[in-house]
Each structure stands twice: as C-alpha cells, then as structure tokens.
Structure 1
Amino acid sequence: MTDVIVVGAGPAGSAAACHLARSGLDVLILEKTTFPREKVCGDGLTPRAVHELLALGVDVDDPGWFRTSGLRLAGAGRRVEIPWPDGPLPAFGLTRTRRDLDELLVRQAVKAGATLLEGAKVTGPLLNRAGQVVGVTTAGREHHARVVVAADGASSRLSVALGLRPLRDRPIGVAARRYYRSTRHDDDLLEVWLDPVPAGYGWIFGMGDGTCNVGVALLRTARADCRRLLGRWLEPMPPGWGLTEENATTPVRGAALPMGFSRQPHYVPGLLLAGDSGGMVNPSSGEGIAYALEAARLAAETIETALKLPTAGQRERAFQRYPAALKTAHGGAFTLGRAFAQAIENPHVMRLATRHGLSRPALARFAIKVLGTLAEPRGRRAPDRLAAALSRFTPAS
C-alpha cells in the first residue's frame, strides 16, 4: 500500500509526483517504457510552462535549455512578431527536447522522494466492492494505493478500462515532426506558419544546439497525411535554412493531440486524470505541456488536501472538487479554442483570418493572448484585461 500511484512519467505524471512527494506523501510512479525515451512534440515551452517548471525547482539556467523571447506568426506573405507578454509569468519561454525534458522531470520527482518503476506496464485498475479505484495491476503484480493519478497519455488505457472514452464532440489533432540541422537553430522566436493547410499550422522552433524542431499539426477532420504534408510544406523553404532531407537527423514521427478536455469526467472515485489522458491540449494552439503541468499541480493540491481529512466522505467531497478546479483554470480558454478550431475547419475562414489577422498586428497579438491564455488579468493595458476577461467569463464545458 502506498499513498498515491501515478501511472505515466510524462510531464503531468512526473510533476504531480514531484509535488506530492514534497508534501510528504508516499508516491509510486509506474512508467511502461524506460528512460531516455522519445515523445512527439514541438518542444516549445511558453511562459506558463516555465512558471510551472520553476515551481518544481527545475534549474532553467542549466545547459540544454534554449530561451525564447516570443512568437513569430507567418502566413499570406506577412509576418508578425509577438514578444512574450509582461506580467507575473516569466518574460521568456524555453525549448528542450522531450527526450531530455521528460527524464529531467521524472528525476526531479525521484529526488523529491517518489519511487520510480520503469518498464512497468499497467494492465488495469484494481476496484473494491463499491467500484472505487484502489490501485492498479502490472504483469503478475498488484499495487494498492489510497488514490491513483492517470497520466498515461492520449490513449490512456487505464481510463478506457474504466469506461472513460474520448467525447465525440471534442476536436482531435494530429501532428508530425522532425529534427533538422539548420542555420535557424538559434532563432529566439517560436515561428508558427498559418497557411500550410486549412485547419492546421506549421512550426519551426530553434533548439539552440544546431537543430530545429520542425513540424505540422492539423485537425483530424482535415483528412490530410501529416507526414506528406510536412514534406510538401518544406519544399519551397529557402535552401539556406537547411530544412532538407540530407539535413534531417531523425525520422518523421507522428502523434495524436487530444484537445479541449476530450475525456471526462476528470475524477472518478479513487482516480484523477491529468495531462493528455484528460485531453488537456489547447484546441487553438496545440499547446499541452503548460496545461499538463498546471493540472498536475491542481491534482497534487487536491490529493494533499483530501488525504488529510479524517473521514471517507470528507475525502471524497474534496476529490470531487478537482474537475471544477480544472474548468475554472482552463475551461473558458478551451471553450474558445474549440470554437476557433471549428471555425478554421472552413478553408475560407482560415484564409480570411490569416490574411486579415496578420495585416493587423494589434489584432494578432490580442488573439494570441486570448487563445493562448497569455493575457495578464490585472495588466495595465486594456487589451490584456479584455483578453483575460474573455477566457474567464466564457462558460466551461
């Protein structure tokens, strides 16, 4: 018996484990693979994610991190540069490969006191007579806990085993990415192209180590092959950038992006969902790491509070507040993001938004702050306050 079992050692699982172990709880992390391991991702971390990394005690001045100063939006022959906004969040973003980042975060959790079992594939939940999750099974072994955190990714077999399947009305994205040796590796702006395909975007993120992370993402409804799309998009790029087959350092790899709280509820008796398992990717931007880290912190705070309570009824009521906390934090932004994703499925809308949005830099900056939840609610500028209010007062679902 342990206090908490965390299934999955991605950013959500490792962050939750780190917070929980620091609070004095006995935490077991079960990870089906072994480190280091690959994960398909853009590798770009916004100031929201940096804020959570700092809260975890991660030293972002160590070698291996590359700082970014903002975004560059490109499309319809125009470009707009958007610096990361001023406010309580750090004034910089970061890039780092997920191969490095995930191992760094899980080692941080172990350093805090969590126990890690690698190569431990969870085969199903353990239930008591009341149907409450009381642990999980791995091959030939039972692991019991007072509560379980499912952070086992987009497929989340643990969630599926409990009947929690993705909601049909939520957007699902797909992405493909590849690393290239490139002269643009030290560009400190995360570059996003808005016109490689309707209902999608492309990205070029400098890693600061001689390579760039380059990829495309689109809604699954676009019915395009991401891997082929990536090649077609890069063909006309300037040769001097080096985004060519001979400069590729990895194969093209793809992944699903579960968006907009696509799996609910985020709590069933004995189990909380965090990260991709709960569909915590922003539908408008495709960003997932910041929301995974924030959900991990909220889950840890909920668990820490609940397990201190003296009765089972009090603990259960405390656990049940977790989904509401998530929706308060991200529900409005995800609702706006789903509306945005639905709108850009129409190619005419996407072209219109790209052409007119990028010709009006102030409008583009405002849209990024709203859809990327980067506005400062108490900022000095009226657009920041308005952008924050739009997210805050949009109904969550």
Structure 2
Amino acid sequence: MESGEAMTSREVPGVTNALASELLSSAPPVDRNEADVIVVGAGPGGSATAALCAQRGLDVLLLEKAEFPRDKVCGDGLTPRAVRMLTRLGIDTSESAGFLHTRGLRVYGGRTAPFELPWPQLSDFPDYGTTCPRRRLDDLLAGRAVQLGAHLICGANVTEPVLVGDRITGVRTRDGRTVRAPVVVAADGNSSRLGVAMGRRRDERRPMGVAVRAYFESPRHDDPWMESWLELWDGERGASTQLPGYAWVFPMGDGRCNVGLGMLNSSPAFGRTDYRRLMRAWLATTPPQWCFDDAHMIDRIRGAALPMALNRKPLYANGLLLVGDAGGMVSPFNGEGIDYSLEAAELAADAIAEAHSRGVGAAAAERALLGYENHVRRDFGGYHRLGMIFSRLIGNPRIMHLCTTYGLPRPTLMRFVNKLLANLTDENDGDAFDRIINTLTRIAPSA
C-alpha cells in the first residue's frame, strides 16, 4: 500500500482500564494513512507516548507488529516509580482492579536470614509497588492509548523510514503500506530497526545487561514482597566467581511467580556464561516447597537484552524521537526500564505537542523537539551516569564480594541503597538520604 492508500485502525470510546485486545475486537475500522505523529511499537513507552500525545489533542497512529494480547520477556515487577506513572496515565492500580500490591523488597545475601526493606514513605511516590505480566500490562496501556483517541494498528511491521532529504516523514511496513507524519517516535525495543535505519548506533561503552526468566506455579504467588538474591556464583558458592547481578522472585498474585536472574556485561564472565544453566543451578538451591522446578514451570526459560544508560543517541534528530529500550533507558542499578520508558513518554509528548503548536517545520518547533533530549538528560541522565559507575564497580568480583559480605548485613546502609537503586526520593523536604542521592544525581554529568 502506497501513500495514497489508507491503513486500517479502530477507534472506540473510553472505558476504565481498557484492554486493546477487547477494544479492537468490537470496534469498527477507521481508515488512516497520515497523522500528526506516528509511534512505532506498542510496548509501555510507545503506548504511553501515544496516549499522552492523544491526550494533548494530537492525531496519533500507534503501529504494533504483533496482535494483542502478546507476551514480552520481563521481570514484571513495578516499583512505586512505575506505579506513579501508571496513575498519571489514568490506569487504576488498586487491588480491586486486580493488582497485587507489594510492600517492598525482601533481600537475600551476606547472611543466612533475609531482611525486608519496605518501600519508602514519600510525598512524591506511592508506598506500594505491584506486579503485572507484560501480556496484560502492554495490552492495558495500548488500550488506554486507544481510549484517549490514538489509532492502534496491529500487524504493522515497520521496516524502513520514509525520508525527505535526511528527515523522516513517515514509515513503510513489511507489506508495503506507507503512513506519514511530520514527527515519528521509535519505541521499537532494544534492536530499534527504525532507529538504526536513521543512523542511531548503540554506544558499546555503555553497560548492557541480559536477563532470563520463567513462570512457575507456586504457593508463594501472593507473597506481598518482591524478592532479590544478591549473590550469584558461576559455580559453588564461596569457591567460584561471584557475578554482577541478582536473581529475583516476583509474586504475580494469579497462582504464578515470575522467577529469573539478570547480569551486567561489566564482568569478564558476561560473554562466557550460559544464563539458562546458571538459572537452573540457582533454582536448584531454592526450597522444594516453593515449586521452582520443571514440574511446575510454565512454558520455558526465556531471555532478553537490557540496553542501559541512554546507550543510543541522539534521542532526537531529523524528526525522530527515541523512547524506552530504543534509547537504552534501562537503569544500570537494577535493570528496571518500564518506569523510565513511561517518564520519557511524558517528556516526548510534551515536546511533540509544543512543536505542533509552533508549527512543525518551523525553527521554533525544531527547538521544542530538541528539548526532548535535554529534558531526558536533566531528569535522569545524572542518575544513569551514577549507574554506569556502579555497574563498573560491581563488575570487579572482589568489590562485589565486599559489598555482599560487609554491606548487606547493615540495615541503615541497605535502606540508603534501596532508595538509590530504585531511585525513590522526595525532590523537596526529603530526609538525609534523599538529599544525598538528589545531590549526587544533580552534580553527576549526564549519561
């Protein structure tokens, strides 16, 4: 389909916590081949960008290569930072809406007994986290985008940009269809085919992670704590190399636990590790009553890359903005990416709406779009820079061993580390820990 032909979307009136898969099944088709903005990829960052652009009055096309519902490899754990953004998007995360609330982290490592770190009591963030499988979360966020007026087109596998000179003015899909808009958002994941086609290359000096996970039927499915094991060994505990990463158990509240582990590339062992074998070895050390075994495993162990520390730039140039994994927005501290994808979506929507009001193509509009990267760097560039330093430090096995042996058993230190790793502080009138973390992130050069 060329530019003169229309694509098919569906548009429905809003309902609370709508699912895209349900909305699209009952809505009449709407022909679309151009818009104010095109968003490629309906993961959390893409759907949030589409929703917030539509909320600001823009005509939005949201292109997704798959059909909803669909799964993505993820830990499924959402900290209070992510929950805050879901609330801003109008998603009801209450327990009555089917969300299991978590109280904080239960941490294993450095001593025999685990200890519990509640989410901090803050003005700027809620005091609970939650878990939500990506199969549901992405469906929910895409539904919210449709609810707010975005046109969701599934089965649209974008293969290349449409260019006028060096500026993107639309995209083509694998089946030859073309859609056009003066502004395009690449939210198409770690590989970001669209970003690469526009010359955005990944900075190999930035940290990279890998994670593997599986679902298990388990009696621990409704535990109110997210759990982390901060000691991973590539062999026998204490007699092999300690690895820079952690294992997790996240209760899903539906009979299942999301169980997995992640590791950074700052260790020489990164490229030599069989992560599925490592996970099976760790699973074998868990109590049998937890049921983390083959008999209770649902599906299989699956893996994904974690692009970190704003590793693909520029985040804006020539009509294209990068959001989420396409821009490497995963935290090097804890492997969390959904919250920063959602926050970047809000910044992107602000910049696009401002550019639209100034008249896209005008110099003033271009300055508004260039402001997107400046605002991302301002809001969490310093934090990601600190995360890069952290990832290099724990890549040294001796430092990692010192941290888990002497740092973990100290509750006051761990409360500080919990705030730092989850990036949960009050901007104003916080405690001493908040002031230290806020000062460090402010003075650190942006990643």
- Sort the TM-score into its range (normalised by shorter chain): over 0.9
Residue number among 34, 40, 52 corresponding to 1:19 in the alignment: 52
Does the Cα contact within 8 Å between 1:177 and 1:254 map onto a contact in 2? yes
SS in structure 2 of the partner of residue 321 of structure 1: helix
CA distance in structure 2 between the partners assigned to 1:151 and 1:50 by the alignment = 20
2:357 maps to amino acid: K
CA distance in structure 1 between the partners assigned to 2:140 and 2:300 by the alignment = 24
CA distance in structure 1 between the partners assigned to 2:421 and 2:216 by the alignment = 29
Partner of 1:30: 63
CA distance in structure 2 between the partners assigned to 1:245 and 1:334 by the alignment = 37
CA distance in structure 2 between the partners assigned to 1:272 and 1:362 by the alignment = 41
CA distance in structure 2 between the partners assigned to 1:381 and 1:168 by the alignment = 37
Shift of 1:304: 0.7
Partner of 1:74: 108
Shift of 1:387: 1.8
CA distance in structure 2 between the partners assigned to 1:363 and 1:108 by the alignment = 40
1:33 maps to amino acid: A
CA distance in structure 2 between the partners assigned to 1:380 and 1:272 by the alignment = 33
* Deviation larger for 64-73 or 368-377: 368-377
CA distance in structure 1 between the partners assigned to 2:229 and 2:313 by the alignment = 32
CA distance in structure 1 between the partners assigned to 2:117 and 2:318 by the alignment = 43
Shift of 1:41: 0.5
Partner of 1:84: 119
SS in structure 1 of the partner of residue 72 of structure 2: coil
* Deviation larger for 362-371 or 66-75: 362-371
Answer yes or no: is 1:386 the counterpart of 2:431. Answer: no
Does the Cα contact within 8 Å between 2:217 and 2:296 map onto a contact in 1? yes
Residue number among 370, 376, 390 corresponding to 2:426 in the alignment: 376
Deviation by residue 1:43-86 (Cα, 9 ceiling, x = unmatched): 00011111110111111125431111111221123533211111
Does the Cα contact within 8 Å between 1:133 and 1:269 map onto a contact in 2? yes
2:35 maps to amino acid: T
CA distance in structure 1 between the partners assigned to 2:442 and 2:421 by the alignment = 12
Task: Give matches, 1:238-249, under 5 Å.
Answer: 238-249=287-298
Partner of 2:151: 115
Answer yes or no: is 1:312 the counterpart of 2:362. Answer: yes
SS in structure 2 of the partner of residue 124 of structure 1: strand
Partner of 1:350: 400
* Deviation larger for 3-12 or 196-205: 196-205
CA distance in structure 2 between the partners assigned to 1:347 and 1:379 by the alignment = 37
Deviation by residue 1:270-314 (Cα, 9 ceiling, x = unmatched): 010000000000001000000000000110011111110146111
Partner of 1:199: 244
CA distance in structure 2 between the partners assigned to 1:380 and 1:319 by the alignment = 33
Partner of 2:304: 255
* Deviation larger for 301-310 or 7-16: 301-310
CA distance in structure 2 between the partners assigned to 1:371 and 1:326 by the alignment = 19
Partner of 2:22: none
CA distance in structure 2 between the partners assigned to 1:112 and 1:68 by the alignment = 29
SS in structure 1 of the partner of residue 108 of structure 2: strand
Does the Cα contact within 8 Å between 1:176 and 1:226 map onto a contact in 2? yes
* Deviation larger for 274-283 or 304-313: 304-313
Deviation by residue 1:135-155 (Cα, 9 ceiling, x = unmatched): 111121211101000000000
Answer yes or no: is 1:362 the counterpart of 2:398. Answer: no
1:124 maps to amino acid: E
Shift of 1:181: 1.0
1:44 maps to amino acid: G
Which consecutive residues of structure 1, in runs of 5 or more, have no partner in the other structure? none
SS in structure 1 of the partner of residue 353 of structure 2: helix
Residue number among 268, 275, 284 corresponding to 1:226 in the alignment: 275
Partner of 2:190: 154
Shift of 1:208: 1.0
Does the Cα contact within 8 Å between 1:52 and 1:290 map onto a contact in 2? yes
CA distance in structure 2 between the partners assigned to 1:352 and 1:242 by the alignment = 32
Deviation by residue 1:344-379 (Cα, 9 ceiling, x = unmatched): 111111111111121111111112212321122324
1:187 maps to amino acid: D
Answer yes or no: is 1:216 the counterpart of 2:251. Answer: no
CA distance in structure 1 between the partners assigned to 2:299 and 2:429 by the alignment = 42
TM-score (norm 2): 0.87
CA distance in structure 2 between the partners assigned to 1:80 and 1:291 by the alignment = 27
Answer yes or no: is 1:48 the counterpart of 2:81. Answer: yes
Deviation by residue 1:311-352 (Cα, 9 ceiling, x = unmatched): 611100111111110011111110111111111111111111
Answer yes or no: is 1:288 the counterpart of 2:330. Answer: no
Residue number among 183, 186, 204 corresponding to 1:168 in the alignment: 204
Which consecutive residues of structure 2, in runs of 5 or more, have no partner in the other structure? 1-33, 234-242
* Deviation larger for 114-123 or 74-83: 74-83
Task: Give matches, 1:113-152, under 5 Å.
Answer: 113-129=149-165, 131-138=166-173, 139-152=175-188
Partner of 1:58: 91
* Deviation larger for 4-13 or 70-79: 70-79
Partner of 1:39: 72
